[in-house]
Amino acid sequence: MLSKKQLFSRGMLDIAPHMLSVIPFGIICGAIGVDLGFNPYLVYAMSIIIFGGASQIVFLQLLSGGASSLVAVTSVGVINSRHLLYGAVLSEYLEKLSFIKKLLISYVVVDQGFAESNKFFKKNKTEQYLHYHLLGTGITMWVCWQIATLAGIILGSFVPEELGLKFAIPLTFIAIVVQDLKKLDHVIVMLVCGISSLLFFEAPFKSYILISPVIALFVAALLLRLKK
């Protein structure tokens, strides 16, 4: 049995490598917000209030491009709706927590944290304080995101644009799913999701990010049926 502290540090350790892409991305996000002409306090407040990487940039880009607030808000909601799936997966492991603790821990559920903690949960189902791992990944992400966006807002885009560091984001997610390429069913589900996301990229409110997982999960359900 691991202690709460051990689980928390394990979470921090598991998410740490992803900071290689999260920190440059945070700097870019902060700098873009200021470049687009928004009040720096407002740009930073988004990191606390929304705390959702790409959705923060999309929000500001839409507004500065003349879109209505309704369109911007809806897009953020749609982009972040993928958390519903993360929550459904995590609920099994967080079941024993009190209502208040569930409300609090929800705030730090992010893509990379979900992915790493979910991998850990699957291997260590019997641990009593599993949620400390999720706190470790989530809080590490939160702190790094705050520092990185703040640095981008204050110092501007000091990461040279020519480096193309935005490319680190898909790489971080490749690192997350790459081991599942061993399984044919997962490869099919990934391809269906990826190709759908390209086909539906122009769909309104960035809804490709919701449509493609739904199609991919439907295919996953069909595959499960075929397997039997």
Partner 1 sequence: MTWLSITIAGILTYFTRMTMIVLVRRDLLGEKIKAVLAYVPSAVFPAIIFPAIFINDYGAYIEMNDPKIFGALVAIIVGYFSRNVIATIFSGLLSYWIIIFIFLS
Range in contact with partner 1 (rule: CB under 8 A) among 1-9, 29-37, 87-95, 139-147:
87-95
Phi-psi region of 68 (alpha: psi -120 to 50; beta: other; left: phi over 0): beta
- Residue 65 interacts with partner 1 (CB under 8 A)? no
- CB burial of 152-175 (b: ≥16 within 10 Å; e: otherwise) equals bbeeeeebeeeeebbebbeebeee
45-64 residues near partner 1, rule: CB under 8 A: 45-46, 49-52, 54-55, 59, 63
Token pair, residue 11, equals: 């979470």
Are 39 and 25 in contact by the 8 Å Cβ rule? The answer is: no
| 5/113 with CB nearer partner 1 | 113
| 3/69 with CB nearer partner 1 | 69
User: How many residues sit close enough to partner 1 to count as binding (CB under 8 A)?
Assistant: 89
Are 92 and 152 in contact by the 8 Å Cβ rule? The answer is: no
| 4/166 with CB nearer partner 1 | 166
Specify the residue for token string 């993360």: 86
- Min separation Cβ 54 and partner 1, Å: 8
- Residue 90 interacts with partner 1 (CB under 8 A)? yes
Q: Is 193 exposed, middle or buried (0-12, 13-18, 19+ CB in 10 A)?
A: buried
- Residue 36 interacts with partner 1 (CB under 8 A)? no
157-216 residues near partner 1, rule: CB under 8 A: 162-181, 185-186, 189-198, 201-202, 208-209, 212-213, 216
- Residue 118 interacts with partner 1 (CB under 8 A)? yes
